[in-house]
Every structure is written in structure tokens, then in C-alpha cells.
A and B are shown apart, each in its own frame.
Chain A
Amino acid sequence: MPNKLTTYLNIQTNAAPLSVFRIGFGIMMLASIIRFWSYGWIEKLYLEPKFHFSYYGLEFIKPIGVYSYLIFFICGLSALFVALGFKYRIAIITFFLSFTYIELMDKTTYLNHYYFISVLSFLMCFLPANTYFSIDAFIRKKQYNQIPKWTIDCIKLLLGIVYVYAGLAKINSDWLFKAMPLKIWLPSKYDLPFIGQSLMQQEWFHIAMSWSGMLYDLTIPFLLLYKRTRIFAFVLVVFFHVFTRVLFPIGMFPYVMIVGTLIFFDYGVHERILNVIRGLFSFFKLKASNLENLSYKVSNEKIILPILGLFFTIQLLLPFRYVLYPNELFWTEEGYRFSWRVMLMEKAGYAEFKIVNAETGHSFSVNNSDFLTPFQEKQMSSQPDFILEYAKYLEQHFLAQGHKNIEIYVDSYVALNGRSSERFINPKVDLLKQTESLKTKNWILPFKDEIKGL
């Protein structure tokens, strides 16, 4: 077995796929940052709110006022450098750090897509993506057109994990048998041309979409791996992601995935892509023949391989951490994030906080819009960790105003996947007596239904 592993690690392959991936990734990320900025979302999401929801243990990561723009600028610039393959190692590390910082500034905006980018850019910090067709190679006057095969395979592995885990998460009774939440989402797309008034309103279509979504996620990495099904799989990838782009507001993610899955193709395809780029930038005069072609050996392999081994072990285990919590995952969301659970829930909530003076018994309710943006309020209302964090913030606010002996209770209701709304948090529990931790939150009321599945 060790021999097999050593043999595998020594296999060399053409460097073009990784270079194309690097270029595509850099361009996509630059475009994402520009898009985000131009929509005014930096202002809206990170500067306007008075209060930001932090991740547990990472409370020190906050927007830094107008300087937040600087982080986005650095992030965009490093993405450009990544695309160019210029000072690649510094650029990709800078990108990973700045992007992850942005992602962690406020968990209101948590998206699996952002987490995917963070994880992927972390992985790319260890990969020789600048050895071929890059400015770095041009400056060094030599490039490596052969790189270890594992460097490309680990990107395929990460993509595979994302898809398969997303597919596994769909194996639950709400998704497969009730077609929830698609049954809520799709009929509301009545204003789509052609299919809005017909297909989108049909129950069989909702169920078919649910099942094919699950099958797509579970099988697509394998269909992409096998040469005979690869083109068919790629057509599916394009169709699936374009279709979800039409249906849902998911920004750049579909394009990132379409470009990302190109890495499954043989190097011939990538050489053709590079030739197109060479054609576009003929002034660049960077011709493969001008440079020495060498085989690249990863120099710190002894350090990098264990790190990546640990990284993938975490990736494989983390999504299953929910089994450590006794209550329904969708209801409490304990262990929900960072697990490739995409589009599984339509969850809406309502939370009204009551500030009680423990001594006099006097109480008053809080107007959430005085403290939170509508987006923050929406996210807060259905997620327990948000509710607790907000209660602690309210405590600080009202203590500073001179209120004493404060207790905070919440009157909250949540509706999940088309079920009727039910009380969510125990209204008799003083939230200020609770502390955020990774332990089970016993102040969440139990879910009154059952969702079977993984």
C-alpha cells in the first residue's frame, strides 16, 4: 500500500488544467468582488448595520468601517494576481486571508458558496498553479509543463466532496417525498416565460426536480471522472447551473462551478483554451517554446501532504458533526453550516424580545428594526445562535442606557418547509443566563414533526 501511494504521488501530468483553473478562478473572483462592490453591498451589508453577528470564537473579526473597502480592494487585486500567475504564492495567500476575513465579518451573509471559495483558496495555497502559463514562469524564464498528478486530483476531490455531500444532504423526507422547499419556491416563479405558468405549478415537476437534483449532486463527480460520460456530464453541469441561476438569486456561484468543473477534462482541452488566450494576448509573446520545459517537484511535499491529508479528513468529517446533537438539525441548525447543505430549507421566523426588570417585573418589547437591518432581522429570527447573540447585544445596549436587573426573553415562532409556525425558543428562559457554545442548546423547544434521512 505505501508503495502504491508513493507511486501515485510520483505520477506526473500536464500542468495546463491547473493553470486554466487558476486563471478561471482568479477572473471569477475578481468579477465577484467588482459585482459585489458595484451593487453597493459593501455599504449595505457591512457599513450600514449598527451591529454584526459574529461566528463563535471569532468575535474579533468585524467590519472595520470604511476601511472594509480596502479589504475588498486587496481581495480583488490578489484575485487578479492569481489569474495572472504573478507572485502567485503571496497572491493566493492574500486572497484566502482577505476573502475569509470578509466572509467571517458577519454571519448574516453566510453562504455555502463563500465557504467553498474560502476552502478552495486555502487548498490552492499549496498547489503549484503558477508553474505553467504564468507571469511568474515568464519572469523565471522557465516553466514546468509537468506537475504531480495529485495537485490536480485534490481539486477534483474537493469538488467531488461538495457535490456528493450536497447530494447526501438531499436524502431526507422533506426533500424527496414532500418536495420541500421546492414546492414553495417554484410556484412563486410564475413570472418566468414559458414555464412559469405551467411546469412551475405542477407537483410532479417539483418532485422530479427534487429527485433529479439529488441524483445530479450524487453522480456528477463520477460522471465527470469517466471519460466516456464526461461530455454528457459537463452538458448537465451547464444546464443544471444555468437553470438554478434562472430560478434563484445565487449570483456568481453557477459560473464558478461551470468553470471549476473544466478541471475534469484532459489537458488537450486546456491547451486549446490557453491557445485562445495566447491568441487574445499575442503581444504577450509568451510562447511555450521560448521557455525551458521542466518537471515540477513540490519541494515541501513532506509538510504539505500531511496538511492536505488533515484538511481532507476535516472536510469529510465536519458535515457529519450534526449527529452529535440530539435535536432535529433543520430546526436547531446545530451543525448545519459548513456542511454543503444547500437549498434544503424554507425557514421563516418571528422573534420579539422582551426586556424585563427582574426586581420590579416591569417589561417592554424591543423594536428590532431599531437595531438590525431587515436582512439581519430575517436571519436572526430563525437561527438560535443569532437570537442569543442579539440578546447579549441588547443587554449591553440597555445596561448602557441605565436599565438595571435585566432579563431578556424572546417570543419566537418559526415555520419550516411549509409547516405551520410553532414556538421556537422557550419563552420562559432568560437568554442572558445562557452562553454560546458548541454544546446542545436546551433552550430551543423540540421540533414537533420528524424529518427522516441523512
Chain B
Amino acid sequence: MFKKVLVLIAFVFIALACSSSDDGSGNTSDNFDRTALLTNWADNIIVPIYDDLNTLLADLVVKKDAFVTTPNQTTLNEFRTSWYNAYKVWQYAEMFNIGRAEEINFAFQMNIYPTNVSDIQSNIESQSYDLTNVNNNDAVGFPALDYMLYGLADDDADILEFYTTNTEASKYLTYASDLTNQMKALTQDVTSNWSTYRQTFINNTNNTVTGSLNKLVNDFIYYYEKGLRANKIGIPAGNFSTTPLPEKVEGYYRNDVSKALATEAMGAVKDFFNGKAYTSNVTDESLASYLDYLNTIKNGEDLSVLINDQFDTAQANIDSLDDSFTNQINSDNTKMTETFDALQMAVVLLKVDMLQAINISVDYVDADGD
């Protein structure tokens, strides 16, 4: 009995080992190089993005200083242009909630919108505030500057009055200045930290909830689902409320940039997924190439192509929208909700198909399984 069973098991093993190669995919001994993936993310994507953001925020500080010294239309315009340039790059940086950025809740201190005007006003009045305080998350960062640069009044002359002839002009100047300095200081902190964090990040190839790959995949999906799909399109279009909320678009006070910012975010998502370098068109190991590698084992559908196609569809939808999402919502909200649906289809591909394929431990409860 004993020997017979052994022989039987051995026979089955051998039979299977031989037959499995008939599928033509038996040769998968070459492994996917996760270190190369993490290195590409760190060296060609994350660090160059932070460097660029940091440079643009340095410029923002310079333009702000010029404005504070001599507040006039020229310095205001330069301050605004610099803000917009930095805001576009921010769309690339927002998803990386890892390392120092995670510790200080970088994204929460940089881009919570809609900004809270009454919090900003009371901060300006009181002159005593801790901008890093959680309660001030909606009174700082790019959206707060948006308000300070475009939202104080209806036309530029009236806005400039707040910084010149207004009795509390110095308070307004101080707040605009403090906001900008704070954004620069945070970005500097996160950027410098990467010089040491880089190695930790690359070395942490484990498939655990704290592994770099796992965390960043989570960040990526979270950014796509919440930061892009919900915040930029879904919430203003009223997907999560009984009526549309056109005042909740990104860059509401300048108002004609919500489409441009969403387009940048879509580009950031696509580039990250395909492992495209920030400063060139070179691509390296990425989620797309990881899925392609896994597909050589699985022989399934070409998921990376499906995902890229869906990204393109969503971008085409965004392209059809008005520069100002507020205008789009007020004139024809259907186009907004159609865009939302197109973005949604990619959420399904990312959260269901991609997560199943790469089967990484994501940050669910670490309870036992079956």
C-alpha cells in the first residue's frame, strides 16, 4: 500500500512535470526584477519629480518675495504664473504617500480643496496660527494660495487692494508669504529626505504590507481613485451628492485650470504605470511590465494594454470638457459624469484585475485566511 501510493504520487508528479511544458509557457525561470522596478521608480520618477517641484517652489518663493516687497499687477501676475507651474508639477508628486511624505501627511498640507475661506480669514485676522496643524489642512497649500491670488475679489484691482490699501494689507501679505514659505519648507524636507530614504525604499522588496512595492501600488491606486477620479471629477459632478457641486473643483478661484490639472494628473498616472522617466521618454520596469511578466505565467488577457487603453479613453473624455469644470458642470454635467464613468472603468481594472494579478498584500486587516 505504502509503496504503491508513493509510486502513484511520483508518477503523477512526473506526468505533470512533462505535460505542463506543452502549454509553451514552462520557461519562466527568469524572474521579474523588483529591485529594478523600485530603482526605476525612485531614480527616474519620484526623485526627479520632487526635485522639479522643489525648484518650482523655490521660484514661487522668489516671486512671492517680489510681490510682498512691491505688490502690483506685474508681481501679482508673476506670482500667479509660478503658482500655476508648481501646481501642475504637484499633480505628479501627490500620489507618493511614502517615506517622509507619509510621516508629515504631505498631500494633506499641500492640496486639500475646496479650501476653507473662513479658516483662512480667521487665520489672517488672528495672526496666530500653526499652519501644520491638522485643522489648517484646508487653509494651506495650493488651494489656499488659489484663494489668496484669485479669490479675494472679482477683479485684479480689487484683489491688489487687499495687499496695498486695505487696513490689514500687511496681514494679507504675511499670510500669503507664510503659506508659500511653508509649502517650500515641506517640499524641501521631503525632497532632501529622499537622499537617505532612497536606499531603504529600494531594499524593501518584501511582499508585506510595509514593502515598498505594496505601499506604492496602494498609493497609486488610492491617488487614481480618490485624488483623481473622485476629487477632480466625481465630487464636483455630484456623483457623491444629491446635486452637483461646481464650487468643489480644483483651482476653483482661478477656475480655468481644472481641466489642465486633471490632464496633468492623468499623465502622472499613465507615466507611473508605464514606468516612464519624468525627464525623458525612456521607460523601464513598471507595473505594466510586471503585469506582462506575470502574464507569461498566466496566459491571460493582456491587462497592461487594457489598462492603458482605458486611461486613453478617460483622457479623451477629459479632453472633451471645458477648461473650467465649473462651467462644464453648469452647462452640461453629463459630459462630466461620462468622464467619471470612463475613469471608473480603469478603477475596476486596477483594483480588481491588477491587484488580483500581482496578488500583493495590501493594507487590509492582517487577519487569518482560509
Interface residues of A (CB under 8 A from B): 39, 41, 44-45, 109, 111-113, 183-185, 187-191, 197-198, 201-204, 207-208, 211-212, 215, 219, 223, 226, 228-229, 232, 248-253, 342-343, 346, 348-350, 352, 357, 362, 364-367, 373-375, 378, 411, 413-415, 418-421
Min Cβ gap A309→B in Å is 29
Contact: B238 with A364, CB < 8 Å?
yes
Q: Which residues from A are CB-within-8-Å of B344?
A: 352, 411
Contact: B12 with A350, CB < 8 Å?
no
Contact: B365 with A201, CB < 8 Å?
no
Given the complex of chains A and B, what is the CA–CA distance between A396 and B106 in angstroms? 37
Interface residues of B (CB under 8 A from A): 1-2, 5, 9, 12-13, 16-17, 20-21, 23, 25-26, 28-29, 31-32, 34, 205-208, 211, 230, 234, 238-243, 294, 297-298, 300-301, 303, 306, 344, 347-349, 351-353, 355-360, 363-370
Contact: B359 with A232, CB < 8 Å?
no
Q: Which residues from B are CB-within-8-Å of A113?
A: 368, 370
Q: Which residues from B are CB-within-8-Å of A252?
A: 368
* Partner among B207, B234, B357, B364 whose Cβ is within 8 Å of the Cβ of A184: B357
Q: Which residues from B are CB-within-8-Å of A201?
A: 28-29, 31, 297
Q: Which residues from A are CB-within-8-Å of B353?
A: 348, 415, 420-421
Q: Which residues from B are CB-within-8-Å of A191?
A: 205-208, 211
Contact: B1 with A226, CB < 8 Å?
yes
* Partner among A185, A352, A373, A419 whose Cβ is within 8 Å of the Cβ of B300: A419
Q: Which residues from B are CB-within-8-Å of A204?
A: 16-17, 20-21, 26
Give the dominant DSSP class at A's interface.
mixed
Contact: B370 with A112, CB < 8 Å?
yes
* Partner among B5, B29, B347, B363 whose Cβ is within 8 Å of the Cβ of A219: B5
* Partner among A183, A248, A348 whose Cβ is within 8 Å of the Cβ of B355: A348
Q: A113-B370, A418-B356, A418-B357 are in contact. Are A365 and B240 (CB under 8 A)?
A: yes
Q: Which residues from A are CB-within-8-Å of B355?
A: 348
Q: A350-B347, A367-B240 are in contact. Are A188 and B31 (CB under 8 A)?
A: no
Q: Which residues from A are CB-within-8-Å of B348?
A: 350, 413, 421
Q: Which residues from B are CB-within-8-Å of A419?
A: 300
Q: Which residues from A are CB-within-8-Å of B364?
A: 374-375, 378
Given the complex of chains A and B, what is the CA–CA distance between A229 and B298 in angstroms? 37
Closest-by-CB residue of A relative to B31 is A197
* Partner among A111, A228, A414 whose Cβ is within 8 Å of the Cβ of B370: A111
Q: Which residues from A are CB-within-8-Å of B351?
A: 348, 350
| A to B CB contacts below 8 Å, 16 in the list | A111-B368, A112-B370, A113-B368, A187-B294, A187-B297, A191-B206, A203-B297, A204-B26, A223-B5, A232-B2, A249-B366, A364-B241, A364-B242, A367-B230, A418-B356, A420-B303
CB-based closest 9 A-B pairs: A251-B368, A188-B359, A375-B365, A204-B20, A421-B352, A348-B356, A413-B348, A415-B352, A348-B352
Contact: B367 with A45, CB < 8 Å?
yes
Min Cβ gap B117→A in Å is 24
Contact: A373 with B365, CB < 8 Å?
yes
Q: Which residues from B are CB-within-8-Å of A215?
A: 9, 12
Contact: B368 with A364, CB < 8 Å?
no
Given the complex of chains A and B, what is the CA–CA distance between A373 and B365 in angstroms? 9
Closest-by-CB residue of A relative to B8 is A215
Q: A203-B20, A350-B351 are in contact. Are A342 and B370 (CB under 8 A)?
A: yes
Closest-by-CB residue of A relative to B368 is A251
Given the complex of chains A and B, what is the CA–CA distance between A39 and B360 in angstroms? 21
Closest-by-CB residue of B relative to A176 is B16
Contact: B23 with A203, CB < 8 Å?
yes
* Partner among A183, A226, A367 whose Cβ is within 8 Å of the Cβ of B298: A183
Given the complex of chains A and B, what is the CA–CA distance between A41 and B351 in angstroms? 25
